[in-house]
Amino acid sequence: MSSRRRRKASAAGPASPASSTQTAIRIHPSLAPAASVPVRKDPPGDETPPLLSESDSVASRSSLGEDRPRHEDTDDLLPEDDEGSVEYKWRLVNPTRDRFAQLVTQLNFRLSEGNGEAIYELGVEDNGRKKGLPADVLAASLETLKRMAHDLGAETQVLREADGKEGRVAQVLVRKVPKALEDYLDIRVAVAGNVDSGKSTLVGVLTGSGALDNGRGLARSQIFTHKHELETGRTSAISQAIIGFAATGEIVNYTNVRNLTWSDVVEKASKVLTFFDLAGHERYLKTTVFGLTAHAPDFCMLVVGANMGVLRMTKEHLAITLALKVPVYIVITKIDLAPEHVYEQTVNHLQRLLKSPGAGKKLPVMVKSIDEVTLSAQNIVNDRIVPIFSLSNVTGEGLDLLRAFLNLVPSRRNWREHMDKPAEFAIDETFVVPGVGTVVAGTTTAGAVALGQILNLGPDGRGKFVKAQVKSVHYKRTPVKRVVAGQAGSLALKKVKRSAVRKGMVLLDASIRPGAVREFTAEVLVLYHGTTIREGYEPVLHCETIRQAARVLSIDTPIIRTGDRATIKFRFMYYPEYVKAGARFIFREGRTKGLGRIISVERPTMH
């Protein structure tokens, strides 16, 4: 280990986590997309509107280190990075007490970089060469790593073993066991895709008791929340389901007897993934857009039916996801129903779509082995590659690879940086519970919201905020004392009528001077519009939990068309909202029309 690494490792402690997403992640040459079979070019009407400018594409390529020289031997790894959650160790045999303490400190640094998770490559030198170890030495190294993890309250899981140049190599996942609520690794996944592509069925199979679907809607019946959804087999509202992974990698949901309650899953798991099953029908597009913006997903799982191919709403959902800069992975379902040539056409169409300039020239990766699973999981956060899985919910083919990927996929945000800030809670749902009263659901975007805390609730229709006290807190349907930054929860409010609360409102710490905004200025990119946009245009804006129509007051150019950029001043048409500079939004008129970023807010009204 270099002297620079030693200084960094020794300086890293439990109280100084760093964001793994701030480090440039290098892509291994084996992740380069395979050449697709030449097929006909799509007609002009089938093209995807441009989502990124050429400068955006160049910047993303530069951040991934694509201009750096590659390792000559693709069987080896890239040289070890001083940052990040991946560590190379050739051997860990009988370390002295001082050396063991250094190794534990180094592991703690890697865990902090990975928000509680780290990957150790044993039998690998710092330059990435897979030298390998004899079987007994590798076993001793694994035991030493297990002792190191135990000292930090973590567990190890051997992901895979393989042959190296002179022996065996092993890849090991180290994951901390959460001791408190804020230690939980909570990842949100939005599930999008065209109607009848198998989204709800896939979520039901992943989060159920371990049973497969029967081909007649058994799995999806566990996800639907409304009677008409069961009758039609189509989702119209946002449903949620969770899957939990133990510190050693096992899926705690799978009892093969009964479905566990959310409380049981949270109690047994160290890592929890929440799936937001979104609507696929065009009629419910506004619900799907709200799910992609309001729930702050870490990733999007785009589901495509192998027998249906890439349809219009598939492209629409992909365009929205890319516009919001949410990393996406694709799951091709129903491979047991699709003829081989239809399946190949679906794969080729997806590869062409992802490689197009409109999609930012992504790198599609067909995941067919555990090696590709681990490489894809380590690189997906950079939003450059797009892993593609193929599976059947009826036969179970391909499901193990997707489950292994979900076990390894890292957190995209470092919420610990926001835990010490004043509390902010964005409301995305309201309801009334008999005997409890008004309950609001949403995401804690900063600080912590605790039982009994008094917060400012607003803005109302006049832009005012009122005091509201939290009388109970639930996290994953489990009573808790508080929810912290990055966690979704439900709050029961004392003496607040449901009619006084709406989606898009926020709960703010009493130390924050609240303010509502009616007008703001934003940089806008038009993705698609049939004619032109000018002053007076009134689209619907989706900005985090906010969904409201806004009028264009002024543009820095007379008119704008598809592909144009402009600075536009908007005004909310009905009531003020709580928005901040830097927030991203999309605007639509039926289908999605464009995206923007707020650069300044104007004329705030203070309470």
Question: What is the model's pTM?
Answer: 0.82
Identify the residue whose tokens are 């892993």.
387
How far is 588 from 591, CA to CA, in rounded Å? 6
CB-based contact 200:278 (threshold 8 Å): no
Identify the residue whose tokens are 């966690």.
487
For the ranges 244-248, 281-285, 409-413, the lowest mean pLDDT is seen at: 281-285
Query: Per-residue pLDDT for 490 more than 80?
Result: yes
Task: Please state the rounded mean pLDDT for residues 19-47.
Answer: 41
Q: What is the pLDDT of residues 247-295, one digit of tens each?
A: 999 999 998 777 888 889 988 999 999 999 898 777 878 888 888 888 8
Secondary structure (DSSP) of 91-104: ---S--HHHHHHHH
For residue 443, give the nearest of 604, 274, 191, 597 by alpha carbon: 274
How far is 17 from 391, CA to CA, in rounded Å? 37
Identify the residue whose tokens are 């992943």.
206
Q: Pick the residue with more confidence: 10 or 178?
A: 178
Q: Pick the residue with more confidence: 352 or 221?
A: 352
Query: Per-residue pLDDT for 39 more than 60?
Result: no
Query: Per-residue pLDDT for 36 more than 60?
Result: no
**Structure tokens given for 270:** 């160290």
For the ranges 457-461, 577-581, 591-595, the lowest mean pLDDT is seen at: 591-595
Map out the domains of the chain with their CATH numbers: 3-27+70-176 (no CATH), 185-413 (3.40.50.300), 416-513 (2.40.30.10), 517-606 (2.40.30.10)
**Structure tokens given for 98:** 């001082």
Query: Per-residue pLDDT for 120 more than 60?
Result: yes
Residue 257 has a CB neighbour count (10 Å cut-off) of 9
Task: Please state the rounded mean pLDDT for residues 79-103.
Answer: 93
Predicted confidence at residue 93, as pLDDT, reads 94
Predicted confidence at residue 107, as pLDDT, reads 96
Predicted confidence at residue 40, as pLDDT, reads 35
Band (pLDDT 50/70/90 cuts) for residue 185 is confident
Question: Facing residues of 189 across strands?
Answer: 275, 299
CB-based contact 364:396 (threshold 8 Å): no
Task: Please state the rounded mean pLDDT for residues 454-460.
Answer: 94
CA 559 to chain centre: 36
CB-based contact 120:171 (threshold 8 Å): yes
Name the residue type at position 489.
G
Predicted confidence at residue 257, as pLDDT, reads 76
